[in-house]
Amino acid sequence: MTFDIRMPAFTDLVDKAAAFEEIASGLGFTEGPIWHPHENWLIFSDIQESRQYKWSDAGGQSIFRTPSNQSNGNCFDADGRVITCEHASSQVVRHEHDGKHIVPIATHYGDKQLNSPNDVICDGQGRIWFTDPTFGRIRENLGILREAEQSLQGVFRLDPDGTLHLVAGDFQQPNGLCFDADETRLFVNDSWGGHIRVFDIDPGGSLRNGRVWADVTGPGEGVPDGMKCTRDGQILCNGPGGVHLFDRNADCLGVILTPQKSTNFCFGGAGLQTLFVTASTSVYRIKTRMTGLPMTK
């Protein structure tokens, strides 16, 4: 069984005949996939083995960076450079020259080291937004066991001038985040809260009117983790059993059930209609009828 169909509209977005194809296997703990829409390659992290991989249909799988300080989430910045969250170093870094040179861009808030930056996105103004839970400090296979210096698990905005702002600090463990298509709202899920919250974004980058948008529930392994918005406004979020698909009204249409516990995903391939899913020791892809938003210009 590949799907848990909860509402008829699910099959308008995912063909019931679609199936997963495994494109990478034998890994430790996969995370953070991003797709380059013009050069047609995928980058993903293996947190446990402290490596980042590059994959394409033409070139197969190769090492992008090792060691990677147990990297997790990735995104592209406004100039198309890869931005990475590192668990072991508790910092966000920028890759220069195809990963050959690494520049830390966020390491501390105030005088205290960040927890373990987890997931990251970039908006149209070049501002970088990331979540900072403590997973890389409390799970030995995902980081280095150590006490947190921060007193909260927050969501941060890094401006192009290098200024770091705390935009939300009342999460248990913030994880995946995404904008809606016009970047007027920010969605952030809470792994320990079991739900997705949404905030309105002021022009200056402050958040307001935060509220719970949807609960992520169902049988199977998994918690709210990676999250993306489609061109038409659907929200997809990892959760129990696989990838949960919500319509614009926060109704869960169904779940794309994954062969292993899923952690994250991105849209890629022709027309950005293929879902690339990181799931424990493997990476899979499945075709959909949805269109993702490009991750870089």
pLDDT digits (tens, 9 = 90+) for 182-231: 999 999 999 999 999 999 999 999 999 999 999 999 999 999 999 999 99
The CA-based angle 12-15-16, given to 5 degrees, is 115
pLDDT at 26 over 80: yes
- Cα separation, 75 vs 221, in Å, equals 26
20-34, 85-99, 249-263: segment of lowest average pLDDT: 85-99
User: What topology is assigned to 3-287 in CATH?
Assistant: Neuraminidase (2.120.10)
Which sequence spans correspond to the domains of the chain?
3-287
Residues 120-155 have pLDDT tens digits of 999 999 999 999 999 999 999 999 999 999 999 999
Instruction: Find, among 179, 293, 243, the residue nearest to 14 by Cα.
Output: 243
* pLDDT band per the 50, 70, 90 thresholds, residue 1: low
Per-residue pLDDT averaged across 241-263, rounded?
97
Between strands 282-287 and 274-279, the pairing is: antiparallel
> Confidence band (pLDDT; 50, 70, 90) for 99?
low
Model confidence at 93, pLDDT cuts 50, 70, 90, reads: very high
